[in-house]
Structure formats: structure tokens, C-alpha cells
Amino acid sequence: MTVGVLQEIGLILAQGYPSQDTDLVAKELIRVLQLALPSLALRAASVKGQWGREVEEVWKAIRKDSEELFAPALEEVERAKVIYVASKFMNNEAIGELLTKAAIDRSQEEEG
């Protein structure tokens, strides 16, 4: 399930990214999401486990200072694209909540 959600988020992000090659950009942005998801899942699970919060509350708690969660993507994807995704995660509630939900789902899949 998480893979489809990441693809959906990547396509949404690619539509707003300034590039002619939306397909290539979407693939790169999806890769950023895939590389950041394990760290996001760990942090989301920690916050959710401590307070049993809803997705919106978890996103608000983990979005602050979350740049380091996207650091693994810097080894594979152009820095500008990683910063774009991290910025959208931190500042766009819809994207932030979609990605936080995917992170929570992933952490629950790993537990089960």
C-alpha cells in the first residue's frame, strides 16, 4: 500500500516542480520519498506511540527540524529535489499529512 501512496505523492509533487520532464522528476521525487520513509516512519511511530495522536498532530510534531530525515536521499538524488520534497513536507499540510500517514502505515506494517 505504501508504494502506491508514495507514487501518488511523487506525482503531485512533480506537477509543482519546475521542469519539462515531469515523468523523470516524478521518479526522482518518489525516490526521495522512498529513502526518507524509514526515518519518517521511525519518528512518526515514536510520536504516535507516546501520545496516540491523529495524523495531523503527528505531522505537526515531526515536521519541525525534519531536514535530517531526508538526508539519506542526498546520496542518490539531486540536492534541489531533496530540499523541494523536504520543504513541501514541512510546509504543505496536505503533502505533510499524506506522507505522515504513509510513515505511520509503514511503521505498523513493520510491527505486524
- How confident is residue 3, by pLDDT bands cut at 50, 70 and 90? confident
- How confident is residue 1, by pLDDT bands cut at 50, 70 and 90? low
∠ CA 92-69-94, nearest 5°, is: 15
**7 pLDDT above the threshold of 70:** yes
| Distant-in-sequence, close-in-space partners of 56: CB < 8 Å, separation ≥ 6 | 93, 97
What is the structure's pLDDT at 58? 94
**What is the CB neighbour count within 10 angstroms for residue 58?**
24
Query: Both ends of the chain: CA-CA distance in Å?
Result: 14
- How confident is residue 84, by pLDDT bands cut at 50, 70 and 90? very high
Could you read off the pLDDT of 14-39 as tens digits, one per residue?
Answer: 999 999 899 999 999 999 999 999 99
Could you read off the pLDDT of 33-79 as tens digits, one per residue?
Answer: 999 999 999 999 999 888 778 999 999 999 987 889 999 999 999 99
Q: How many structural domains is the chain composed of?
A: 1
Structural domain range at position 104: 2-111
What pTM value is reported for the model? 0.92
